Structure formats: C-alpha cells, structure tokens
Structure 1
C-alpha cells in the first residue's frame, strides 16, 4: 500500500531507516501532514512538485539522503513551512531568494550540497532565523549586506564556500565567531583578518 493513501496522516517520522527509492511523485496528497521527517535514509531523486500543495507542512527534513536536483522556487512561498533541512544531499542549482525572504522560515539548513551562485540579498527586518546553515557548498560572491537588517540570527554558518569581500558590520556579525566564515576564498573583516 502506498503511504499517500493514508490521507489523514498528520505526522510522519521515518528517519534513521534504510528506506531506498524516490519520494512518491504524489506525496503532496498528504494534505494534512504538518511534519515529514525522513532524514538519514537512502532516498534518491528530486523533491516532487506535489509537495508544494501541502498547505499544512511546517517541518520538512530530508537531510542525509541522496536527493538531487534543485530546490523548487515555490518552496519558499509555502505559508507555514518554518523548518527545512536538506543538508547532506547532492542537490545543485541556486538558492531561491524566496527561501531566504520567507519571514516564517526559522530553521534552514542547506549545508553539504552543491549549491552555486550568490546568496540572495533579500533579508529584512522581519527575518528571524534560529539556524541558517549554508556551509560546504559552492556559493560565490559577497556576504549579503541585508543580513545585518535581520531581526534575529541565532546560528549562521557560511563557511567552506567560495565567498569573497568584506564581512558586513553590526548585528548579527558582532556575535559570530570565525568558524562561521572560515575556508572561503577571500572573506575579510571581523571576526576574520582585517581587509
């Protein structure tokens, strides 16, 4: 029996198993699902577009799998999605600006993938990230100045990329240590060496 037939399912935790294969293309039929915890399996393929129809999904954890493809742009427009963990996969493409400008997003971990391009400069006074981890990717360009406008930034990690230029000054940068910025091409400024 396919899991998508359990239409009343509200919480799904299948993490730390040996599940092999792709997420069902019609995974989005689980319209009542608020948490989908599928980390540490052997899932392959891309994130199915049907996920974008899951209006109650608040927590999506696909970390430590073998997911490929890019992040659907509309994932950042999901109204209640507040935790997204895609770390430890083989995803590529650019980080959608909608993910970083979504004021409801509180935990976003995209580390240890193959994301490229710049970090979208779309943060604002309502941005509230308890965790923002973009480390171990192929990101280029500068650290966005708009990050200093964020209402709250608890844990930020943009280390192990190809970023360059000055680290902006002010909050949240004044409470972050060098490990948050280490192993980039040519970042400088506090807490790293002066420019």
Structure 2
C-alpha cells in the first residue's frame, strides 16, 4: 500500500507499528482520536525508509517531541498540530535534505527557541515552520542561519518577548512571517518589510 488516508473519522487508540510499515508513501490520520506518545508510536523512526508524508494533526497525542522525529530518510512533510504535545522544541538533528514542512501549532510546547539557531541543527531544508499557538517564550534567534530555505515562519500566539532580529531580512526565500499576539518590542527592520509578502505583527 502506498497511501493511507483516514482523516476526519473516529479512529482511536494507539497506532500499531505494523500499520505504518505497511504504507510506503503517505499516511494521513488527521482529525481523529489517535492517542499515545510519539516515542511509543515510533520506537524506531528509520523503520519507514520511503515515507514522505505523515499527518497526525488534530488528535490526542501527548508527551514530548523526540529529537529524531525528522530522521525518516524520505520524509518531506510532518504535521503534528492540534495535539497535546509538550516540552521543549528539540534541536533539528536530521541530516536528510528533503525535510521541508514542520507543523507544530496548537500544542503546549514551552521553553525557548534556541534550537532554531543551534550549531548542531540541520534544519537548512525547512521551507515552512509553524510553531504558533504554543507557550514558547524568550527571544527570537538573532542568527537563524540554519533556516536559509525558509519561506514561511509562523510563531503567533506565544510568549516571545524580544526585538525582531534584522537577520530575518537576510533569509532570501522568506515570504510570510506571523508573529502576532506576542510580546515583541522595538522597530520592524526596514529590510524585512521590503522582502516579505506577508508580515503580521500585533499585540
């Protein structure tokens, strides 16, 4: 089986490992009642060598986000938004260059955004990052140099309290920035206003 789509049903309980191993390309279990923790669901991420798309958004997943979450060798899209995940954002520790979309909005992640500028991070392939509607705090990374491919950065409805780093303006592919409903201060870098097609900053 190459594609499994069971979105918008009432699928409940944990997802057995064999189910994901039986699907070679895409799994969509969004908008169900799937529960459990990610380490329990996926004790060995490399068991899925060809999986490119994994969507478990709007379920009941709990626990923390494991560091090796991006280590599926073919994965390009991961959506875990709308669950009950908590803890800190892990450093992006995958070396595979295809990983492009990471959606983690509407969870309970807390702590700083330091992993976005970690020297050990390999997030250079990310094009879309959504961490909005969490409990993240602290400052925006002043040198997000590991995110050079980023097109969309959504971090609204958090507790981010800093000035807007001018470095964001030098991410040449960046088109959409949403930092609304945060605690930002200072001025908007002029280059950022000139280079993005959508910039939302309020409250």
TM-score range, shorter chain: 0.7 to 0.9
Query: Is 2:152 aligned against 1:152?
Result: no
Aligned counterparts of 2:127 and 2:199: Cα–Cα separation in 1: 21
Matched, 1:26 2:46: no
How many equivalent residue pairs? 182
Is it true that 1:97 corresponds to 2:116 in the alignment? yes
Cross-structure match for 1:39: 57
* TM-score of the superposed pair, with normalisation by structure 1: 0.80
Mean Cα displacement is larger for which, 84-93 or 119-128?
Answer: 119-128
**Runs of at least 5 residues in structure 1 that lack an aligned partner in the other structure:** 184-195
Q: Superposition pairs for residues 49-128 of structure 1, below 5 Å?
A: 49-75=67-93, 78-95=96-113, 96-98=115-117, 102-123=123-144, 127-128=148-149
Question: Is the Cα–Cα contact under 8 Å of residues 35 and 59 in structure 2 kept in the other structure?
Answer: yes
Note the aligned Cα RMSD (angstroms). Answer: 2.8
- Aligned to 1:17, which of 15, 32, 41? 32
Match of 2:161 in 1: 140
Q: Report the equivalent of 1:191.
A: none
5+ long unaligned stretches in structure 2: 1-14
Return closer, same or farther for 1:47/1:163 CA change in 2, 3 Å cut-off: same
The secondary structure found in structure 1 opposite 2:176 is strand
Which residue of structure 1 lines up, in the alignment, with residue 201 of structure 2? 181
In 1: Cα distance, 2:142 partner to 2:29 partner? 35
Contact 2:70 2:94 in 1 (8 A): no
Cα distance change on mapping 1:27 and 1:159 into 2, 3 Å: farther
Contact between 1:31 and 1:54, CA under 8 Å: does it hold in 2? yes
1:123-175 deviation digits (Å, cap 9, x = unpaired): 459834332101101111110111111212221101111111111112x3137
Structure 2 residue 187 is the aligned partner of structure 1 residue 166:
yes
Distance 2:122 2:162 in 1: 18
CA–CA distance in structure 1, aligned partners of residues 147 and 85 of structure 2: 31
Aligned-residue offset at 1:27: 5.0
